[in-house]
Structure 1
Amino acid sequence: MANLFIVAAPSGCGKTSLVKALIEKTKNLCVSVSHTTRDARPGEEHGKNYFFVSKQEFDQINQENGFIESAQVFDNYYGSAKQTVKDLLDTGTDVILEIDWQGARQVKESFTNAIGIFILPPSESALRERLTDRGQDDQSIVDRRMRDAVSEMQHYNEFDYLVINDDFEVALEDLSKIIHTHRLQLSQQTIRYQSLLNSLI
C-alpha cells in the first residue's frame, strides 16, 4: 500500500529544495510532476520540474476532470494530473505532491488517507530575506509574496505535520522521519511482510 504525501509551504520556505534532497536519500519515493501555466524559471525542465502548458491546455485537462487538485497561485494555474498520481501509487511507490493548502484540501476529498506536511520559515524576516536573495523578483513581487505567505501560513493547522525550516539538514531529517514513520505502520508492514507473518504465526 503506497502512501500519498502532501508537502505545502509559502514561497521561499525551501519546499522544493527539501523535497529534492528527500527524494535523493529515500528509496521508493517520488514527486508527481504537476502542470502549470507559468513560464519556466532558469534551469527548469519541461516534464521534470513541471509540465509547462498554456492556459488553454490547462483548461482542457481541467474540464475533462483530469486533475485531482488545481489552484490559482498569483497569476498562474497549477494542477496535479489524476492519472499520473494513480499510476505511481499503483506501482507501490510513495508519492509526494508539492502543492499549496488549497490543493491539499481538494486532494483530501479524493485521497482521505493522504498525509499532509506543512513547512514554515523560522521567522518573517528570514522568509523575506530568502525571497529577496533569490534575485528572481523585484521588490513589489517580494512584497506581494510576503503578504500572500502570511495568508497561507494561517492554514498550517489543516495538516498532519509541521516542519520548521531553520536549519536545512534538521528540516530534511524531520521530513525523512515522517516518511519512515508511516512506512512502519501496522497496515503497511502487514502487506510488506505478509509471507513472513504467515510463516511465523
Structure 2
Amino acid sequence: MNEESTRPRSRLIVLAGPTAVGKGTVAAEVRRTHPEVWISVSATTRPPRPGEENGVHYWFVSDADFDAMAQRGDLLEWAVVHGKHRYGTPRGPVELALASGHPAMLEIDLQGARQVRETMPGAFFVFLAPPTWEELERRLVGRGTETAAERERRLETARVELAAETEFDVTVVNHEVHAAAEELVALMGVEAPDHEEASTNCSPPTL
C-alpha cells in the first residue's frame, strides 16, 4: 500500500465471519457508539429486508447496475453470496476514508475478505465467531427472515466459513453485541470520538 497506510489510524479493518454471526449488528453498534469510525456500505442485488434503508444498511441495486459497477472497476471486491445474490464494496468511498485518515472498517463476507487481502494486504483482518455452533443455528432460525431452504443453504455456507478462521489476524467471539463491538474498536486503537468529524461518511458511490 502507499505511504498513508503506515499511519496507524488510517489502517483498514476488515470484519468477516459466518452467516448470522451478527456482523451487521456489531458494525451498527460500532457506528452508534464510535461514529468516528467510518464503516463502508456494501452494494447488493438482494431486495431489502423489513426495516433496511437504502444507503444506510446497503445500497440496493439492480443486476444491471451491479454489472456496470463491476465493469467500471468501481468495486473493491464483490462476490455471489449463498449462491444467489451479489454483494460488493464500492471502491471510491473506502479510498477517500483512508486518504482522510479516518479509522475505516469493511463488514463483508469471507469471499470479499479474501479479495481485499489480495488488493490491500496491509489491512487488519478480524474474524467474528459465534460462541458455539448451536448458538449460530439458533440466531439464524430466530431471525425469521429466511425460508427453510434458505436457512439450510446459509448453514452449509456457515460450515465452510467457520473453517476459514485461521486465515484471519485475530478472532472476536460475539457473546454479546456491545462487548464484541468494544473489543473490535479496541483492536483499532480508536480513542475518544472527535464529534466534529465523527459523522463524516464519505460520498456514496455513483450507481
Q: Per the shorter chain, which TM-score range? A: 0.7 to 0.9
Aligned residue number for residue 188 of structure 1: none
Q: Name 2:68's counterpart in structure 1.
A: 60
The aligned counterpart of 2:196 is none
Are 1:89 and 2:102 counterparts?
no
Q: How far has the Cα of 1:148 moved from its partner?
A: 0.8
Structure 1 segment 1-201 matched on structure 2, within 5 A:
1=7, 2-74=10-82, 75-180=84-189
Amino acid at match of 1:131: L
Q: Where does structure 1 differ by over 6 angstroms across 4 or more consecutive aligned residues? A: none
The alignment yields a C-alpha RMSD, in angstroms, of 1.5
SS in 2 for 1:49: coil
TM-score, scaled relative to structure 2:
0.83
Match of 1:199 in 2: none
Query: What's the secondary structure of 1:151's corresponding residue?
Result: helix
Q: Which residue identity is paired with 2:51?
A: G
Amino acid at match of 2:74: G
Corresponding residue for 2:197? Answer: none
Select the structure of larger CA radius of gyration: 1
Q: Distance in 1 between matches of 2:63 and 2:117?
A: 25
Percent identical? 35
| AA of the residue aligned to 1:52 | F
Shift of 1:138: 2.1
Aligned to 1:190: none
Task: Tell me the number of residue pairs that the alignment of Structure 1 and Structure 2 aligns.
Answer: 182
Which ranges in structure 2 are unaligned for 5 or more consecutive residues?
A: 1-6, 192-207
Higher relative contact order, chain-length normalized (CA < 8 Å, sep 6+): 2
TM-score by length of 1: 0.85
